[in-house]
Structure 1
Amino acid sequence: METSVDLKSRLQEDIKAAMRGGEKARLLTLRMFSAAIKQREVDERIELDDSQVLAVVEKLIKQRREAAVQYETGQRPDLAAKELAEAALLQVYLPQPLSEAEVGDLIEAALIESNASEMKDMGRVMAALKPKIQGRADMAAVSARLKSRLGG
């Protein structure tokens, strides 16, 4: 797994490459990602670590997808396509996604590890799962699977 410094330096190199290549749309998206990282670092007065950088990119991707749905609803396929293109550009910064089977195995391991058996244990299990799956699986889907596994 890359460290946040590697991710941030990779982002800066990608920005330079987009500038040299005259890729305006890509450049705008990458600069927006870089600005979001810097904004969070300034707001919280910290240097973002790997999981925090992943959280930033996940949030940006989610925002783009939600905006695309809104544009589709509003009969603006041109703007929806732009948002989805930005999401695709950002997607390359996420680690390789987990398969359904891998997610299931991680859920089972977390249940055993945290000795969870009922719904009141869900928060503890999700806390154990999050560092292992962040950026590699849809947290809402994982939460739904865990809820059904715990009988909720």
Structure 2
Amino acid sequence: MTLYDRIQQDMKEAMKARDSLKTNTLRSVISSVKMYLASSEEARSGELTDEIVIGLVRKEAKKREESIEAYRKAERDDLVQSESEELEILKSYLPEEMSPDEIRAVALKTIEDLKANNPSDLGKVMRELMVRLKGRVDGKLVNKIVRELLESR
């Protein structure tokens, strides 16, 4: 069963259980997938892989994280709570993220492989590192770690 099939099945079960929060959250993911498939000829002709679905779920999760931050600044705890619950539902469909120590180890290896010596090599290192870590990390955290490592050289 693909991840997309699992999401659709879980949405049906949430609808039967009258779990409106989970139903609406999963509907937003399914809507994102459908928009992706309608977005270009390449998307329509290609296969919908778990990697693509994970990327779309991650985008939905990122939207929730940004909303939580905005609602906290506006002191809207009621909205923070609902967005946090949606975020937890979305995270259940994502692979476990790597720890900062694991990221640091891979980043050091990548820096050595590319012979990067200064902060101006950040873009080159990030490109390679994000390919190696695709789907398992937050890009902001990776950028922060790589920047620290390059500045310390």
TM-score range, shorter chain: 0.7 to 0.9
Give me the whole-angstrom Cα distance separating, in 2, the residues matched to 1:16 and 1:132. Answer: 35
Provide Cα deviations, 1:105-146, integer angstroms capped at 9, x if missing partner: 110121122222222322221111113323322211110110
1:28 aligns with 2:28: no
Q: Does 1:118 align with 2:103?
A: no
Q: Partners in 2 of 1:50 and 1:116 — Cα distance? A: 33
Report if the CA contact (8 A) 2:2-2:50 is conserved.
Answer: no
Structure 1 position 89, deviation (Å): 0.6
SS of residue in 2 equivalent to 1:89: helix
Once residues 69 and 122 of structure 1 are traced to their aligned partners in structure 2, the CA distance between those partners, rounded to angstroms, is: 27
Q: Which shows bigger deviation, 112-121 or 44-53?
A: 44-53
Partner letter of residue 93 of structure 1? Y
Name structure 2 gaps, 5 residues minimum. none
Counterpart contact for 1:64–1:84, Cα < 8 Å: yes
% identical equivalent positions:
28
Task: Give the Cα–Cα distance (whole angstroms) in 2 for the partners of residues 123 and 50 of structure 1.
Answer: 27
Q: 2:33 aligns with which of 26, 31, 37?
A: 37
Distance apart, 1:97 and its partner CA: 1.5
**Residue 94 (structure 2) pairs with residue 98 (structure 1):** no
SS in 2 for 1:19: helix
CA RMSD of aligned residues (A): 1.9
Deviations for 1:85-110, whole angstroms, at most 9, x for unmatched residues? 11111011111111222111110121
Q: Which residue of 2 aligns with 1:130?
A: 130
SS in 2 for 1:96: coil
Question: CA 1:120–1:51 in 2, change beyond 3 Å: closer, same or farther?
Answer: farther
Paired with 1:93 and 1:131, the residues of 2 have a C-alpha distance of: 21
2:55 aligned counterpart, secondary structure: helix
State the aligned residue count. Answer: 148
Q: Which digits, 9 at most, give the CA deviation of each residue in 1:30-78, with x for residues without a partner?
A: 0111101111221123044443322222221111121122222223211
Tell me: CA distance 1:66–1:135, structure 2 relative to 1, closer, same or farther (3 Å).
same
State whether structure 2 residue 4 is matched by structure 1 residue 11.
no
2:148 corresponds in structure 1 to 148
TM-score normalised by the chain length of structure 2: 0.86
Structure 1: where are the runs of 5+ without partners? none
